Amino acid sequence: MIRKCLFPAAGYGTRFLPATKAMPKEMLPILTKPLIQYGVEEALEAGCQNIAIVTGRGKRSIEDHFDINYELEHQINGTSKEALLQSIRTLTNSCSFSYTRQNEMRGLGHAILTGETLIGCEPFGVILADDLCSNPNAQGVLAQMVNLYKKYHCSIVAIESVQPNDVDKYGIIEGSLIEEGVYRVTNMVEKPSIDQAPSNLAIIGRYILTPDIFDILRVTKPGKGGEIQITDALLEQAKKGSVLAYQFQGKRYDCGSIDGYVQATMDFYHLTSKQNLS
Ligand code: G1P
């Protein structure tokens, strides 16, 4: 039902300099897998086999990652190392990948609009790869949202409660509870100050968007930070009652920050060593 998932991946990742000087932030690994691979796995689990990536200058290694490396694969063919490529082979065999470049950084809304050429006129998922989500032994966050989409057929943002002094890092929603963990959004504000925030329910990097968002984005004026914000475009849909906010099951790591990145690395390490022991 949702066949395509868009990955805005043109940002600079300045918080991880110098690591991200010549390497895309989406390629930073948590253990042995790059962040964007976790995102693509989550998209595939949700039924999205069309992976659309908005890249930019210096991001070519993302394309190489989701392609075959004949020389390497020939070298390790038939050795014990071959198993290490299994997870990425599953993705390259199951998904199609398409790319477009964003040549100016004008915000997340602009990045999503740049992806229109890959998405066309159908509802689609959006994953921000530096928000790494895990829900061990249960459904991933995007799959949970796709289930909700099947019932409501409108745009959906994933949310979680944050500390009041962190509201200025996120899009914040206000809404009325319509079923457990699901709000109909009545207002949303991009990175408000603590006294302007309508709640402490923060949008994390998972969205399902209906395609009318593109027409809205085309006329959305630059907002917070002078950038075209997806939050502002979604507010236009919300005014018509067509945006839900979903308190997802699972854990999110802000891998765009050093703290979140280290926490994810430790948790994934412990999880993997437990799985290897059992
Ligand atoms: C973007 C969105 C923001 C959202 C956040 C989730 O901000 O603009 O509304 O809460 O992603 O990670 P960014 O982190 O790109 O500044």
> What's the gap in Å between 245 CA and the centre of ligand 1?
15
Closest to 169 in 3D by CA, of 250, 256, 236, 244: 256
Residue nearest to atom 6 of ligand 1 (CA): 204
Structure tokens at 214: 């593109």
pLDDT score at 277:
60
pLDDT tens over the chain, length 278 residues: 899 999 999 888 899 999 999 999 999 999 999 999 999 999 999 999 999 999 998 899 999 999 988 899 888 988 988 888 888 989 999 999 999 999 888 999 999 999 999 999 999 999 999 999 999 889 999 999 999 999 999 999 999 999 999 999 999 999 999 999 999 999 999 999 999 999 999 999 999 999 999 999 999 999 999 999 999 999 999 999 999 999 999 999 999 999 999 999 999 999 888 776 65
> What's the gap in Å between 128 CA and the centre of ligand 1?
8
For the domain that residue 49 is a member of, what is the CATH number? 3.90.550.10
- Per the structure, how many domains does the chain have? 1
CA separation (Å) from 200 to 35, 66, 94, 236, 250?
A: 26, 37, 38, 21, 18
56 and 8 in contact (C-beta within 8 Å)? no
Closest to 212 in 3D by CA, of 143, 141, 153, 144: 153
pLDDT score at 86:
87
pLDDT score at 99:
97
> What's the gap in Å between 85 CA and the centre of ligand 1?
32
> Ligand 1: does its nearest atom lie under 6 Å from the Cβ of 108?
yes
Domain encompassing residue 91: 4-277
User: What does the pLDDT look like over 233-273, one tens digit per residue?
Assistant: 999 999 999 999 999 999 999 999 999 999 999 999 998 88
> What's the gap in Å between 200 CA and the centre of ligand 1?
14
Q: Which atom of ligand 1 is nearest to the CA of 128?
A: 12
- Sign of the CA dihedral with 112 first, then 206, 97, and 95 last: negative
